[in-house]
Chains A and B, each alone.
Chain A
Amino acid sequence: MLMIIPIRCFTCGKLIGDKWEEYVKRKEAGEDPKRILDDMGLTRYCCRRMLLSHVEIIDEVLEFYKEASKRKIKSE
């Protein structure tokens, strides 16, 4: 069901949506997730798991629509 990063933490309601992109960027740069989360002020484990365990699937779904729109243009 989780196609895209949730806006808020499921448990406490803290805003986490705007932290995802920075988190991914810094994680890919090789930084330790613990440090990134501490840095972003996510102190409770409910909010930390939101980012730690999230898998962004929407990008994979969008690939199909991207292909479809290409074919549509071609056929036109």
Chain B
Amino acid sequence: MRNALNVCVLQKDDSHLRLLIQGVDVAFVNSLRRIIIAEVPCMAIDEVMVIENSSVLHDEILAHRLGLIPLTTDLDNYKLPEECSCKSDLGCKLCRVSLILDVEAGDKMMIVYSGDLKSDDPNVIPVSNRIPIVKLAPRQKVKLEIYARLSRGKDHAKWQPVSMCAYKYLPRINIDEGKCDGCGKCINICPKRILIKANSVVSVQRVLDCTLCQDCVKACPKKPPAIQVKWNENSFVFSFESTGALPVERIAFEAFKILDKRLEGLLNSLAAAERAEEVEGVGS
């Protein structure tokens, strides 16, 4: 049943990517999903020094809100702190970006936006300038020194480059035209409305939208049912949605790179174990 690996793009825009991956097994696509969620690094605010905060939000809440702001990530010019040569808790220019937030309300109320953050690096800025951070009453002031770092989703959800990453089997719907009498019960029950009536027989449109819920099969009055919903064990519809921190194709690319490195590590340790066994065998 296994055919060669084949990937094609079903849908792509600034934040979404939908792929059809054929010729692989669940273990592969699931590892890809888990790597995208937990291993692909991205930039997020990690440390906040509060110099002054007279706003109504507590320091901790302010810091938490800042941490959740997605920042555009420059993976080529920054290193993960644990892999950086500086080995310091504070970080250096290669593994840390500093930002400043210094705002004071005048005589009127004001809203502090993510656009008010001043970054040292023009490549690492908030994804959107219109995220409200806090609202200030007249003469309230917020002055913060902020550090952003690269890290991974497994450390904190703020470092996840995606807000959605999921896959499903490629649906395959068969309708027995000899048995189907066009009663329409399956058409009405389908939550995705993918079945239509054509020439008194039911036919399928937009197969990819099928959620494999089997409601249409259960609704069919014929025994056995005239409609069958099956799926292809080696084909997957894989989709994810970027938070804006990284472009979608870069996320996929990095995920493959990490998976490659992991598998290489596994092979190396297997080879090492084999060698150790041989040495032991010679010794005894």
Chain B CB within 8 A of A28 CB: no
B interface residue count range (under 10 / 10 to 19 / 20 to 34 / 35 or more): 20 to 34
Instruction: Kindly list chain A residues whose C-beta atoms are within 8 Å of the C-beta of B65.
Output: 4, 7
Besides A65-B137, A69-B137, 18 new A-B residue pairs in contact (Cβ under 8 A), listed by A number = A3-B56, A4-B57, A5-B132, A9-B163, A14-B163, A14-B243, A15-B244, A17-B132, A18-B114, A20-B132, A21-B130, A21-B132, A44-B164, A58-B135, A62-B136, A65-B56, A65-B140, A70-B138
A4 shortest CB reach to chain B, Å:
6
Instruction: Kindly list chain A residues whose C-beta atoms are within 8 Å of the C-beta of B241.
Output: 14
Instruction: Kindly list chain B residues whose C-beta atoms are within 8 Å of the C-beta of A6.
Output: 68
Where the two chains meet, the residues of A that have a C-beta atom closer than 8 Å to any C-beta of B are 3-9, 12-15, 17-18, 20-21, 41, 44, 58-59, 61-62, 65-66, 69-70
Chain A CB within 8 A of B69 CB: yes
Instruction: Kindly list chain B residues whose C-beta atoms are within 8 Å of the C-beta of A5.
Output: 132
CB of A61 within 8 A of CB of B56, answer: yes
Given contacts A3-B57, A13-B160, A44-B164, A62 and B137 within 8 Å (CB-CB): yes
Instruction: Kindly list chain A residues whose C-beta atoms are within 8 Å of the C-beta of B56.
Output: 3, 58, 61-62, 65
A-B residue pairs in contact (CB < 8 Å), sample of 10: A3-B57, A4-B132, A8-B163, A12-B163, A17-B114, A21-B132, A62-B136, A66-B137, A66-B138, A69-B139
Instruction: Kindly list chain B residues whose C-beta atoms are within 8 Å of the C-beta of A17.
Output: 69, 114, 128, 131-132
CA distance A58 to B56 in the complex (A): 8
Chain A CB within 8 A of B117 CB: no
Chain A CB within 8 A of B134 CB: yes
CB of A8 within 8 A of CB of B109, answer: no
Q: Beta-carbon contacts of B188-210 to A below 8 Å, as 1s and 0s?
A: 00000000000000000000000
Instruction: Kindly list chain A residues whose C-beta atoms are within 8 Å of the C-beta of B70.
Output: 15
Among candidates A7, A12, A62, residue contacting B109 with C-beta atoms closer than 8 Å? A62
CA distance A64 to B48 in the complex (A): 27
Instruction: Kindly list chain A residues whose C-beta atoms are within 8 Å of the C-beta of B69.
Output: 7, 17
